[in-house]
Amino acid sequence: MDIKIPEHLVQYCQNIVKPVSGNPFQIEERDKGTALSPEQIRRMQEDILHLKKERNAVLLVHNYQAPEIQDIADYVGDSLGLSREAAKTKAEVICFCGVNFMGETAKILNPERIVVLPDTDAGCSLEECAPAEELAKFKAEHPELFVVSYINCSSAVKALSDVICTSGNAVRIVSKCPKDRPILFTPDQNLGSWVAKQTGRKMILWPGCCYAHALFTAEAVNQAKKEHPEAKVVAHPECLQEVKDVSDEVCSTEKMISYCRENPAREFIIVTEANMIHRLQKECPGKLFFPLRVRGYLPECRHMKKITLSKLLDTLRTLRPQIHLSKEIMDQARAPIERMLEWS
Ligand code: 13P
Ligand code: SF4
């Protein structure tokens, strides 16, 4: 297989995720919102639950959302679980708390329903790393490619893909891909290289990565292990290989819950977005979880943090902002998503 990713794409992706000095997870000033008292949080949660009923809405929430949002969800989970929930819901309105590509996936699976996301600017660095025009160009130059796209990508990239995967099913999906076609894996090279290793399938890797997970280092893990020598290390596959090499388990955010619940260990170092700890503590009482910090900073995804309780309340009041996509894109993107749901 002698297909090479052009150098300008490597540069392009490196620019998107280049590390910054100071707090790399700094939330933008306009996204900070006002600090709420426990009483204000409780009242807003009650209003949200009331409106949710009135609107016949289902509240789907990703594991990286703030605790006060997770606590009132109908379903909290990883991208795979959320896609499955979106595919089977009968609610009139899907209110999604996560990033934009997750809301778009729900809309593609439910074109007739109203899908709202409290802030449609909540993006993802992986999505940014894969512009659809570049993928279309690359595919035109190499029509033999079988394209597997991680769900963290735009609808236009999904529309150009043969099958979608999530971190929870990527190994299974790639092992089912045709053996007589070269595979292009987009956009996460860290998940892609891990899947290639697990499945033994050679793949061409799009050079994207998650700005947050790429900041964890093996050195930081080893330091945390010294501080918590009894702890097991659990890392997300979006982390660098050097981090995965020193971890006890590499898995999706959902699998982290069952791994920590079933493992006899009492302490765990968690190498992913920090809000993951909330569900782990709730579902594994009596166990201790230590988020791995980066240069002393708590790793919070600045895109996920755009969703706040007050934006969620406004969204249920106004049913805005809604996700809108062209019929053409939705129809093209639905087939590879449905293929993923069938294969997993
Ligand atoms: P999961 O599907 O494992 O929840 O991952 C989603 C994600 O965005 C990780 O950064
Ligand atoms: Fe995207 Fe990374 Fe945030 Fe996940 S943690 S949504 S991959 S930027």
State the distance from the centre of ligand 1 to the C-alpha of 86, rounded, in angstroms: 16
- Strand 232-235 and strand 267-271: the pairing is parallel
User: Quick one: what percent of the chain has pLDDT higher than 70?
Assistant: 100
Mean local confidence (pLDDT), 251-271: 98
Q: Specify the CATH number of the domain 7-17+125-211+328-343.
A: 3.40.50.10800
16-25, 241-250, 281-290: the lowest-pLDDT one = 16-25
Proximal ligand: closest to the CA of 80: 1
For 294-325, how does the pLDDT look when each residue is reduced to its tens digit (9 = 90+)? 999 999 999 999 999 999 999 999 999 999 99
Is 167's C-beta closer than 6 angstroms to any atom of ligand 1? yes
Domain edges within the chain: 7-17+125-211+328-343, 29-122+304-318, 213-291
Q: Residue 143: is the preceding peptide bond cis (ω within 30°)?
A: no
- The reported pLDDT for the residue numbered 21 is 84
Q: Are 297 and 285 in contact (CB under 8 A)?
A: no
Q: Do domains 7-17+125-211+328-343 and 213-291 have the same CATH topology?
A: yes
For 4-35, how does the pLDDT look when each residue is reduced to its tens digit (9 = 90+)? 999 999 999 999 998 788 888 887 777 777 78
User: Quick one: what percent of the chain has pLDDT higher than 90?
Assistant: 94
Is 199's C-beta closer than 6 angstroms to any atom of ligand 1? no
Q: How far apart are CA 314 and CA 321, in angstroms?
A: 9
Q: Specify the CATH number of the domain 29-122+304-318.
A: 3.40.50.10800
For 173-213, how does the pLDDT look when each residue is reduced to its tens digit (9 = 90+)? 999 999 999 999 999 999 999 999 999 999 999 999 999 99
State the distance from the centre of ligand 1 to the C-alpha of 253, rounded, in angstroms: 6
pTM of the model: 0.96
- The reported pLDDT for the residue numbered 115 is 97
Q: Are 300 and 27 in contact (CB under 8 A)?
A: yes
User: Can you say how many angstroms the Cα of residue 234 is from the centroid of all Cα atoms in its chain?
Assistant: 16
Q: Are 203 and 195 in contact (CB under 8 A)?
A: yes
Q: How far apart are CA 282 and CA 275, in angstroms?
A: 12
- Nearest-atom number in ligand 1 for the CA of 236 is 3
DSSP string, 101-120: HHHHHHHHH-TTSEEE-S-T
Give residue 310's identity as a one-letter amino acid code.
S
- The reported pLDDT for the residue numbered 164 is 98
- The reported pLDDT for the residue numbered 75 is 98
- The reported pLDDT for the residue numbered 310 is 95
State the distance from the centre of ligand 1 to the C-alpha of 126, rounded, in angstroms: 11
Nearest protein CA to atom 6 of ligand 2, as residue: 124
Proximal ligand: closest to the CA of 78: 1
Is 79's C-beta closer than 6 angstroms to any atom of ligand 1? yes
Pocket of ligand 2 (CB under 6 A): 99, 124-126, 152, 210-213, 238, 273, 301, 303-304
DSSP string, 179-246: TTS-EEEESBHHHHHHHHHHH---EEE--B--TTGGG--HHHHHHHHHHSTTPEEEE-TTS-HHHHHT
- The reported pLDDT for the residue numbered 28 is 77
- Nearest-atom number in ligand 1 for the CA of 77 is 4
- The reported pLDDT for the residue numbered 19 is 76
- Nearest-atom number in ligand 2 for the CA of 125 is 8
pLDDT at position 1 over 70: no
- Nearest-atom number in ligand 1 for the CA of 212 is 10
- The reported pLDDT for the residue numbered 20 is 82
* CATH 1.25.60.10 is the classification of domain 213-291: no
Q: How far apart are CA 220 and CA 234, in angstroms?
A: 13
